[in-house]
Chains A and B, each alone.
Chain A
């Protein structure tokens, strides 16, 4: 066995690219170097779509990187290996197997004698606190209990490396907290039969609460934006000043990255390459109103906003980013500040808001301005959606292009900049 200081798994210069429709590769992960050492919980933080789940799957041997190497115990990893177990965000339990059978299924590949497999499964079930539920089927269980089965199934294999893909994000707040503390208790007391943990999450507080080291990923493509050690002793207290400082620090790293990538997009391809966040007009208006009113009066820290609105960064960031792109607010140093236009917007009535929104769409969002101009130029003032799809997919992958076009459509419709007929899948001008 390896000694405690050496790396269990080593990701070296890992790059991942998926082909775009045009056939060109689109880079998702760029030059990622991470190694996980025995005895630590490593947190992989990033926005949704930043490629962190892809990275976890590469570490699991489920997918192979386009370039770079993954060394598991010094040997190149090419497929799922003994000693690496995964806990899934969606639990991934077999609905037709009971709790006990599900846990035993994880041991199938080890080829253990029947009695030993049963004993190991039973031990894992006892440890994770599932005793009494052995004969239950997953659909009889609450989300929290289901994820406990997920943990039991993974730990029963006694893995060197436990990979957790947003394990608590499908659970409600209270259940997630219980599972987190239970997991941490077992980990701190060295009761878990696993040597190291890699956890992917977009919940910053959760990461600071649980991990010994954070790797923060930027988006499009994902690069390592920062590596932040967390040396606070367990159990950690969210109200402690040092805890708050680390959370702030992570927020600043994430916003700094967001702003710089937004800026970079504006310069390339006349701004068409800029992915638009899935922020609905209602949510953006709501956030403007909240920001304009006391106690914020125009400016708020993102972590304060997130906790007071009970939004996770995955929900809050797209809205903030939308406001930033539309220049109704400015995203800077982990805070969001309304611009003059944003303040005017907050005070306006519906028609004035629409007019203001329209102006900003034409001025600051190249895609909506582009659609508008094409419609004006075209005879008949109509254009099929596919025309813009193809154009976007020159710069973005299929999903991002789809999301971006959907956001542009919703914004343009609200602002009455253009109309869209979903049945015919075509844009047209309004009132002509």
Chain B
């Protein structure tokens, strides 16, 4: 954005002397440019070499691996934004497109990302001349799928809830579509979009780790990255290396958060639509550095001026061709044609699937997948109940104490972002060591990474609980169970539901990597739908992978529709006062 404040308000505009801040900023910029450049060049290197480098277990190799992993995240992020802006806009602008795009997005959100990794790997490898590049693309695609649907949904919903008055102002000032997009739609969607990106990024780390080292049937690839490093460590039974990987990931996520998301959130705060001042203004030392450093501001100002100019351009295509008046089909007829086309395509796909399944699968396969699904469903349910029993009281206790909440909340968010699959080897090591039942003890791994969503949502809910309710409860001496039932639980319920939805969705995804694990040559199988999909992936049995994914998707969509959505609607209705 532009910073012409000093010039115009008549104040004296003086060049500030270079300070230590400028130096820090300069070092930071050069470092980031170098890192991105080297990461990108390495990524494209295999194209020339055509040879997979061996994964080294030396800790000194880790910084480089972390960089490679981060580059995949960045690439996926860029792809997700492009997808979001096009898909979201299309769905919001066209009624007919919406009819197809939104339900599609809804289902895609529920399909386990790791389930179809095998398909995408094969697809991308077949596309590109080089195997490593194909797998690279597949890994990026896996991260992309873990965030793009969320982001597109957030953008679509923002476009649908554009305030009436801003819409009318934009129309009455005759913004072109392009101007409207950059002046109104993108800024309005920004805070929600950034928040959603940050949340789905947490899942992204999980998937990048899982997708770097993959074997589908005979195809075995290990991309240089932290995930492959851990996979190698598991194969070699090297617990110390696992420890190093965890440390490296921790540092990476921390840096990523500080350099990318903190600044983004602090910057996006100005796009908040509410006209009141925020209670807590998001802070970021990077943004502060930017605001205080004249050098950075000069660069930023130039960038801002360019983007402003781009946003101001009318770029109206309407006048070029002119609307095709005269021979327009009546809207009703067009609708019928459109519905017909969509139905035809769906019927065709369905028929082909049936043909395929009929040839390859039998009823016992279906029964097998469903019974495995039942087991995983049971696990998810039990784990959510246990996590709720543990984290809701703790979250409330923390959330009601602002000093604690301020300290615990970032930790909880960090834990949610941390890829729990890096911790699996430790748990597996312990299970092997103590010879306990994998069917039971592998289960907690599913929720290891996602339980934190419950914690930090409950903390957020308890922190936001109105003070006067608390005081009212205190003056009437409402305590014990009554306090939980009548005061606190209804207050945090909407927040809890939000957290639990994310946690259970994440658990389903995690089941694919947590129900069947290995430690060197030892293989543990906890059975369940996740283990089923993992096994079939290893065997390269595509029809059964597809069956597994389908069953899992149906289960996830089913629980969302039958349990979480009604609960959420109920929570929203109860919490309203008007």
Contact = CB atoms under 8 A, between A and B. Distances in A.
Contact of B165 (A60, A82, A88): A88
Interface in A66-119: 79-82, 84-86, 88-97, 100-101, 105-106, 108-109, 111, 114
Interface in A131-172: 132, 134-135, 137-140, 146, 153, 157
A62 B187 contact: no
Nearest to A102: B169
Contacts of A100: 4, 8
A92 B270 contact: no
Nearest to B2: A101
Contact of A80 (B172, B190, B314): B172
Contacts of A88: 165, 168-169
A252 to B, nearest CB: 34
B197 to A, nearest CB: 18
Interface string A37-71: 00000000000000000000100111000000000
B174 A80 contact: yes
A95 B268 CA distance: 12
B297 interface: no
Contacts of B314: 108-109, 111
Contacts of B404: none
B165 A109 contact: no
B10 interface: yes
B168 A109 contact: no
A90 B5 contact: no
B174 A109 contact: yes
Interface in B1-55: 2, 4-5, 8-10
Interface residues of A, number: 40
B183 interface: yes
Given A57-B168, A95-B275, A109-B179, A157 B173 contact: yes
B273 interface: yes
Nearest to B188: A96
A90 B273 CA distance: 13
Contacts of B165: 88-92
Interface string B145-187: 0000000000000000001011011011111100100011001
Nearest to A111: B314
A91 B165 CA distance: 8
B169 A86 contact: yes
Given A109-B314, A135-B5, A62 B171 contact: yes
B8 A82 contact: no
Contacts of B96: none
Given A92-B166, A94-B166, A94-B187, A108 B275 contact: no
B280 to A, nearest CB: 15
B237 interface: no
- Among A82, A85, A88, A89, find the residue whose CB has the most chain B CB atoms closer than 10 A: A88
A109 B173 contact: yes
A85 B172 contact: yes
A137 B9 CA distance: 14
B271 interface: yes
B171 A82 contact: no
Nearest to B277: A139
Given A86-B168, A92-B168, A134-B8, A139 B174 contact: no
A80 B277 contact: no
Contact of A135 (B8, B179, B277, B309): B8
B262 interface: no
Contacts of B309: 114
A105 B73 CA distance: 35
Contact of A96 (B163, B171, B175, B187): B187
Contacts of A108: 173, 175, 179, 183, 312, 314
A134 B187 contact: no
A244 B534 CA distance: 85
B276 interface: yes
Contacts of B276: 139
B54 to A, nearest CB: 50
Contacts of B172: 60-62, 80, 84-86
Nearest to B5: A135
Contacts of B272: 95, 139
Given A100-B8, A139-B275, A92 B169 contact: yes
B390 to A, nearest CB: 32
Contacts of A138: 275
Given A88-B165, A94-B166, A109 B270 contact: no
Contacts of B271: 95-96
- Among A96, A122, A157, find the residue whose CB has the most chain B CB atoms closer than 10 A: A96
A86 B187 CA distance: 22
Contacts of B275: 95, 138-139, 146
B9 A135 contact: yes
Interface in A182-213: none
Contacts of A109: 173-176, 179, 314
Contact of A95 (B4, B9, B173, B273): B273
Contacts of A134: 5, 8-9
Nearest to B165: A92
A125 to B, nearest CB: 9
Contacts of A94: 166, 169, 183-184, 187
Interface string A218-254: 0000000000000000000000000000000000000
A232 B348 CA distance: 76
A62 B173 CA distance: 10
A105 B8 contact: no
Nearest to B10: A132
A122 B9 CA distance: 11
A91 B171 CA distance: 14
Contacts of B274: 95, 139
Interface string B79-109: 0000000000000000000000000000000
B200 to A, nearest CB: 23
A128 to B, nearest CB: 16
Contacts of B179: 108-109
Contacts of B270: 95-96, 137
A249 to B, nearest CB: 33
Interface in A263-315: none
A124 to B, nearest CB: 13
A294 to B, nearest CB: 38
- Among B172, B183, B272, find the residue whose CB has the most chain A CB atoms closer than 10 A: B172
A11 to B, nearest CB: 17
Interface string B239-278: 0000000000000000000000000000000111111110
Given A95-B271, A101-B2, A108-B183, 8 more contacts: A62-B172, A85-B172, A88-B168, A92-B165, A92-B169, A96-B187, A97-B183, A132-B10
Interface of B: 2, 4-5, 8-10, 163, 165-166, 168-169, 171-176, 179, 183-184, 187-188, 190, 270-277, 309, 312, 314
Report the 6 A-B pairs with minimum CB-CB distance, sorted nearest first: A135-B5, A92-B165, A109-B174, A92-B169, A96-B187, A86-B172
13 contacts: A61-B172, A80-B172, A82-B174, A84-B172, A91-B165, A92-B163, A92-B166, A94-B169, A100-B4, A108-B173, A132-B10, A135-B4, A139-B272
